[in-house]
Structure 1
Amino acid sequence: MPKTERLTPDKFKHEAREHAYADFLGAPDLAGLIDAGRLLETGVVLGDEAERAGTFLQADHSLVHAAVNQEGLEVLSTDQARQRYDWVDKEYRWKMVPPDADEYTRHAYERSRHGYFIRALAGAKATYPLQACLYIAQEGLAQAVHNIIIVEEGAELNIITGCVSSREVKHGMHIGISEFYVKKNAKLTFTMIHNWAERMHVLPRSAARIEEGGTFLQNYVCLVPVAYLQMNPALYLAGRGALVRSNTILVGTPGSFMDVGSRVFLQAPEARAEVIARTVTTGGDVINRGRLVGEVPGVKAHLECHGLLLTPRGLIHAIPELEARVEGAEMSHEAAVGKIAPEEIEYLMARGLDEDEARATIVRGFLNVKMDGLPEELQARIDEAIRQSQESIM
């Protein structure tokens, strides 16, 4: 039984006041609503957009800013996109994630407001990352959104998304439905960083389809306390030579429960996948899942789940699964959960570090997973967040 009970949407508020739309990120009303420092911790810049290809910003149930700075890209709310294009509902919305999958998807189906619709047109190659933020400013709110990301044939797009709550918010729920479509020879790098309050319940539900020659690089980072986190995206490699790389970094703090993983279905010849997870617990319970399904010959995939226990009060449960449905599917996995070895600490202490410094160095090295496709400044912020996280841990 998890330390934190999973709550249902009916335990939260569903109505929120409407926030004004801002034509530019420096608008006074926006500055009064959004904590720029909280966003910056997730790589979202509230200010000069010169090095961003576009921005989407939603606060509670309100769209407060959407803009693009480069031709060939489109940023709308999903509600706006549905009004503008009849093909959104016909071809994309609720086509990857079934609305009746569980009570959270049903709630989103009935009550979602906005979410981001991001599209890179065929051949467009974003010069800078595009940023998106889903922000909760109201205490006790259940925010439900539906995101749709489409990268057309030959396009390249890098999205940084921050999911953030105000410093004043202590309790709430976020349900995010996300559907990704990576077309032939397209490339999408998608980095999600969570910066929620410690009593938040967070339940993303997402799926992706990657077509022939497509590449999907997925990064997920959660280093801050959160009451309940459950996510297990389904990634479908549907075209020859499609590629997925998924990196996850988690820190489970006391009182938290995290159930996180990825499912990859290799459905076409020469499809490849690599799923890597690094988990540290300082007292929280973490389930680390990974499932690879080889459906045709000639696919290759690797799964790696490593966990580090820093206290006997915490728990890490690694669940790697390999399922080969045909001959010729080549898949492998590594799973390891353990404590810091005394000899590692002794080695570093012999070179001048005290015991706390030695432990902190080991934790930082363990969490230091190089993520593909990140801008240097975001990688630096993640490295700094890891450093601060391990200092607080120690």
Structure 2
Amino acid sequence: MTAGHDRTRPASPVEDPHSGTHQREARMRSLRKRTMRGLGLGLVLALVLAACGNGDEPSVDEPDTDAEAVDPDAGPFTIGVSNGFTASEWRTQMISNLEEAVEEYAAEGLEIDLIIENDDVDEAGQIEQIRNLVNAGVDAIIINPNSPDALNAAFDEAAAEGVLIYAVDQAVTSQSVTNVVINQNQWAQISAEWLADQLDEGAEIVMVNGIAGHPANEARVSGAMEVLEGAGIEILANTNADWSQAEGQSVMQELLSQYGDQIDGVWAQDGVAEGVLRALIDADRLDLVTTGEARAGYLRLWDENDVDTIGVINPPGVAVTALRVALLELQGGTVDEAELTDGNTILLPMPDSFTNDNLDEALARAEGEPDGYSLDLILSEAEVAQFFE
């Protein structure tokens, strides 16, 4: 029976000099650990059966067990999840996706115990989350990391214990980890290019971002600024709204008050864009060109107000894609090194983007979903298998 546990305990940069061998070594340690666990269980079972048989003393010299009868590839598997930021519908959807996927695997006969460390923590707290999961005996960890490198020492400790580790949404530098991510830099450039095309050279804009220092945020800001500055767009202000719609609305109101008619456009990330749009609506400033997001609430507000904007999918389902990668590795598969970027990164295909040309398609995909729902993309088992030898 599949179980889910939600642990809400609060959770040194060490760059490994070697190539991506650490994750392969961790997989071998994990398989050996699981095999020994299965052999130990088989030995205990043999002793019990012998003792309950004809009354003879059980023999430890010739236990009725066979290594071939123990199949560590068939599960059960224990998968840990580390999430250090909870104030986001996107993260809630990420966790829900994983729980639903585990239920689907259970219906197919594969037992997965999901242990979730889920709380608002800093890097030190997320290190504690990782160690909690290792101590719980997980086979693999799926983590949405708070830092690209501050967790590396904890990753190395986990890998040394035979735990496979997968970073989702945001990439990390540790070669003990396999990143399963979209290219966040490229993701941001799609909407930045659209915005630049709508504006004249010399136009002035403001930027409303996520959480300063988070890997995805930094990659997005870098990618967007490269495009915008290259197009001759002037950036009046580069602000953060902590991936909160309420904060996005508040920040945009302040920017309108400070810069007024000087603003020609807005580049806003997902997680804040609906708040930004609400601020523009309230201020009667829909003359400003703004980027948006592929979330149900934003899409509906876009449609109701006849806005010219863009939304690019940022898929919470990346965590389920990483789960599929983890299960294939735990079952003995090997990621094809030719499919890796930077030695440790599986770059997923860029999801769909939407403008007024295909808004109806986006609205149809969001039908019946709550406003906080993000249009999603989860790779199938067959699609994930293409990254393997």
- Shorter-chain-normalised TM-score: which range? under 0.3
RCO higher in structure (CA 8 A, sep ≥6) = 2
TM-score (norm 2): 0.26
TM-score (norm 1): 0.25
Which has the larger Rg? 2
Structure ranking higher in strand proportion: 1
